[in-house]
């Protein structure tokens, strides 16, 4: 059972425009959500997070929005840059011990010149 879903395996955006990456979850016990960015042959790096008590968190060009009623979150990147091209993973935590993260399957973002 895939508790965290990223239904778009890929996204192509022009440089300077907005990139919107989406993520849905099914487990209502999740209370913390994170986005990670991953380049090929490297480990994922943390990008931004949001607690379930908030609906928006912003850090520079990156903003994460959380809609708890819809069990949906999104990552906005504005403006998009070629260096943003990577795989983006949505992750959630809050169930069980050990601060485990449950990851989505990832979205490959390509920012074109």
User: Residue numbers of the site for another protein (CB under 8 A)?
Assistant: 6, 31-32, 34, 36, 41-46, 49, 51, 89, 91, 93-94, 97-106
State the minimum distance, in angstroms, from the CB of residue 40 to another protein. 10
Q: Is the Cβ of residue 46 or residue 56 nearer to another protein in the bound state? A: 46
Tell me the HSE value of 112 on the side-chain side, using a 13 A CA sphere.
4
User: 46-50 long-range contacts, Cβ below 8 Å, gap at least 24?
Assistant: 47/75, 47/88, 48/75
State the minimum distance, in angstroms, from the CB of residue 4 to another protein. 8
State the minimum distance, in angstroms, from the CB of residue 79 to another protein. 25
């Amino acid at each position: 059972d895939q508790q965290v879903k990223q239904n778009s395996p890929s996204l192509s955006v022009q440089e300077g425009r907005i990139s919107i990456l989406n993520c849905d979850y099914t487990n209502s016990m999740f209370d913390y959500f994170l986005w990670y960015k991953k380049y090929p042959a490297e480990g994922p790096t943390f990008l931004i997070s949001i607690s379930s008590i908030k609906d928006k968190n912003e850090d520079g060009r990156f903003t994460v929005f959380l809609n708890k009623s819809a069990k949906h979150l999104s990552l906005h990147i504005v403006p998009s840059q070629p260096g943003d091209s990577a795989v983006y993973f949505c992750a959630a935590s809050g169930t069980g011990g050990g601060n485990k993260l449950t990851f989505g399957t990832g979205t490959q973002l390509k920012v074109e010149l």
